């Protein structure tokens, strides 16, 4: 057996943030170990190189006015993205460039694109559309951030395009909010509640127009009050910033000197007083009886001062199989598909996809990544659409889907490379409840599964679908650590 002051299960951003806050609070001599079943850190937030540019695999852009925990973490890690010349946190520049954000599912480019979590460092084009229109040689935000060219902070304007006739989703959502009350939402999913008031056709158009379906099966009142549907609408004053997810995760481990053990899976968590003969539960006689024991597959058993579980809902159910609270939390898939087009067809995509574009097919959203290099996010989808796309491996099939979605003549496009980033448990939601107070109690119970054992992460937060929600879940229990 191996003793550790704090054992963290899961090296995603909730686990890394927990390690960082504990290091700040308890100092360098507090022993922290993170075990991670995969062979890398960062969880659903990372970056990769594709087609000569940097793209995100999951989470993407940060929201300046909402993501306070994320900004604090980046400040603590001294990332230049959020530092001014004096070392302080600097505001984004106010360049009038179009924007793209999205939910926990993603990132967007430096072009005219719209909203919802997404979120990471994508290389800016050599010039910007708004500058070309004004006949200037270079973009002012690029000059302003010259010494921070790798991860500049910029202001983007939410201004999506549609390949179909959209409904006014913002106005429709406000209408739904006005008719919502304890009686009309009790025990209903958002889909059930909204369809009863909008009708099937307008509800279908509403979902298509938002570009997401991750809210449909969620508790209705939770969607109305906590989901953050405003991030899907045209928020002209929204300020977003890039996050170098992969580098930031590595920086946390390095700066805080965290012992991370990859390819190490936790299989059970027990308290010593659970281990009485024949499984009889007895009261703890000493502090040692309250120290959790974590058994790992092909690794040691850890004796822990405390345990923090930072996994998806399937991980929580595996470690706490008899805890009924986790049955109320569900996961859903999402996918990002990137494509690089041939030199003789990339101009076609540039003509049809000038910015973040919402389509009414399984592709859902198409986003320019690097137009000059012919790199696009050719699908950004969730739920059933994500499952369907994950089964398609043919570049030709994706070309035909793109042509159909955008109204491009058949056999016009040619993909020379493609990359899929699929997450079976992409985001989470809470099943229908009686009211919001019940949800608050549910999440609190979910974060406290056992004595000296805590659960954190996007699965057990109120801001589900966002990295910020995962970080806030850590802050919720910080005083107990």
Residue pair 223/463 in contact (Cβ under 8 Å)? The answer is no
pLDDT exceeds cutoff 70 at 386 = yes
Residue 350 has pLDDT above 60, yes or no: yes
- Of 90-104, 242-256, 395-409, the least confident: 90-104
pLDDT interval class at 62 (50, 70, 90): confident
Residue 239: pLDDT band (50, 70, 90) is confident
Phi, psi of 443 (to 5 degrees): -65, -40
Q: What is the pLDDT of residue 285?
A: 56
**What local confidence, expressed as pLDDT, does residue 282 receive?**
52
b (16+ CB within 10 A) / e for 55-72: bbbbbbbbbbebbebbbb
| Integer Cα distance of 396 and 385 in angstroms | 18
Structure tokens at 464: 């589900």
Asked if residue 359 has pLDDT above 60, the reply is: yes
Name which of 198-202, 237-241, 324-328, 467-471 the model is least confident about: 237-241
**If pLDDT is split at 50, 70 and 90, which confidence band does 470 have?**
very high
403's tokens = 């042509």
85 has pLDDT over 80: no
pLDDT at position 162 is 85
Confidence of residue 143 (pLDDT cuts 50, 70, 90): very low
Grade residue 365 by pLDDT with cuts at 50, 70 and 90.
very high
273 pLDDT exceeds 80?
Answer: no
Q: What is the 3-state secondary structure (H, E, C) of the chain?
A: CEEEEEEEECCEHHHHHHHHHHHHHHCCCCCEEEECCCCCCECCCCEEEECCEEEECCCCCEECCCCHHHHHHHHHCCCHHHECCCCCECCCCCCCEEECCCCCCCCCCCCECCCCCCCCCCCCCCCCHHHHHCCCCCCHHHHHCHHHCCCCEECEEECCEECCCCCCHHHHHHHHHHHCCHHHHCCCEHHHHHHHHHCHHHHHHHHHHHCCCCCCCCEHHHHHHCCCHHHHCCCCCCCEECCCHHHHHHHHHHHCCCEEECCCEEEEEECHHHCCHHHCCCCCCCHHHHCCEEEEECCCEEEEEEEEECCCHHHHHHHCCCCHHHHHEEEEEEEEEEEEECCCCHHHHHHHCCECEECCCCCCEEEEEEHHHCEEEEEEEEHHHHHHHHCCCCHHHHHHHHHHHHCCCCCCCCEEEEEEEEEEEEEEEECCCCCHHHHHHHHHHHCCCECCEEECCHHHCCCCCCHHHHHHHHHHHHHHC
pLDDT higher than 50, residue 117: no
What pLDDT digit, counting tens, does each position of 144-156 carry? 232 322 334 444 4
pLDDT tier at 164 (50, 70, 90 boundaries)? Answer: confident
198-214: average pLDDT: 94
Residue with tokens 């019940």: 438
Q: How far is CA 163 from CA 258, 330, 339, 354, 404, in A?
A: 47, 31, 19, 12, 10
User: What pTM was computed for the model?
Assistant: 0.83
Check whether 325 has a pLDDT greater than 70. yes
Q: What percent of the chain has pLDDT over 90?
A: 71
Q: What is the mean pLDDT of residues 243-251?
A: 94
Instruction: Report pLDDT for 367.
Output: 92
Over range 395-412, report the average pLDDT.
97
What token pair was written down for 15? 């686990």
Return d(Cα 373, Cα 346) in angstroms, integer. Answer: 8
Angle between helices 190-198 and 169-179 (to 10 degrees): 100
Question: How confident is the model over 11-27, as a mean pLDDT?
Answer: 97
pLDDT at 234: 52
Query: What domains lie within the chain, and their CATH numbers?
Result: 2-44+248-323+449-480 (3.50.50.60)
Residues with Cβ within 8 Å of 104's Cβ and at least 6 positions away in sequence, in order, are 44, 58, 59, 117, 426, 427, 458, 464, 465, 466, 467, 469
Structure confidence at residue 139 (pLDDT): 39
pLDDT at 303: 96
Range of 101-105, 289-293, 434-438 with top mean pLDDT: 434-438
């Amino acid at each position: 057996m191996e003793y550790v002051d704090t054992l963290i299960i899961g090296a995603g951003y909730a686990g890394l943030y927990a390690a960082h806050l504990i290091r700040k609070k308890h100092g360098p001599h507090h022993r922290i170990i993170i075990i991670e079943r995969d062979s890398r850190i960062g969880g659903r937030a990372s970056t990769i190189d594709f087609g000569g540019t940097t793209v995100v695999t999951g989470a993407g852009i940060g929201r300046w006015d909402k993501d306070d925990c994320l900004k604090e973490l980046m400040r603590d890690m001294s990332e230049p993205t959020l530092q001014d010349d004096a070392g302080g946190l600097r505001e984004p520049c106010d360049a009038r460039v179009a924007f793209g954000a999205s939910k926990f599912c993603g990132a967007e480019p430096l072009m005219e694109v719209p909203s919802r979590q997404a979120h990471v460092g994508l290389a800016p084009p050599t010039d910007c559309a708004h500058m070309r229109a004004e006949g200037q040689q270079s973009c002012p935000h690029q000059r302003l951030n010259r010494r921070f060219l790798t991860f500049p902070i910029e202001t983007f304007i939410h201004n999506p395009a549609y390949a179909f006739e959209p409904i006014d989703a913002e106005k429709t959502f406000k209408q739904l909010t006005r008719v919502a009350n304890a009686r009309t939402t009790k025990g209903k999913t958002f889909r059930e509640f909204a369809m009863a008031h909008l009708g099937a056709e307008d509800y279908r158009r509403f979902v298509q127009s938002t570009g997401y379906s991750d809210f449909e099966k969620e508790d209705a009142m939770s969607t109305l009050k906590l989901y953050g549907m405003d991030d899907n609408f045209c928020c002209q004053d929204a300020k977003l910033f890039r996050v170098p997810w992969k580098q930031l995760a590595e920086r946390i481990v390095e700066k805080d000197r965290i012992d991370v053990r990859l390819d190490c899976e936790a299989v059970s968590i027990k308290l010593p007083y659970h281990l009485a003969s024949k499984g009889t539960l007895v009261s703890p006689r000493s502090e040692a009886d309250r120290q959790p024991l974590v058994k790992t597959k092909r690794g040691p058993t850890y004796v822990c001062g405390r345990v923090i579980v930072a996994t998806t809902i399937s991980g929580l159910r595996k470690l706490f199989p008899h805890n009924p609270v986790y049955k109320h939390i569900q996961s859903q898939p999402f996918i990002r598909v990137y494509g690089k087009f041939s030199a003789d067809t990339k101009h076609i995509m540039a003509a049809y996809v000038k910015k973040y574009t919402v389509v009414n097919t399984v592709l859902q959203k198409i986003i320019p990544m690097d137009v000059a290099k012919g790199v696009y996010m050719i699908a950004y989808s969730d739920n059933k659409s994500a499952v369907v796309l994950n089964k398609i491996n043919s570049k030709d099939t994706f070309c035909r889907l793109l042509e159909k979605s955008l109204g491009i003549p058949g056999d016009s496009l040619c993909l020379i490379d493609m990359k899929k980033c699929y997450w079976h448990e992409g985001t989470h939601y809470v099943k229908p409840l009686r009211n919001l107070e019940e949800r608050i109690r549910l999440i609190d119970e979910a974060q406290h599964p056992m004595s000296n054992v805590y659960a954190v992460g996007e699965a057990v937060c109120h801001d589900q679908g966002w990295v910020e929600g995962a970080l806030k879940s850590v802050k919720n229990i910080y005083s107990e650590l």
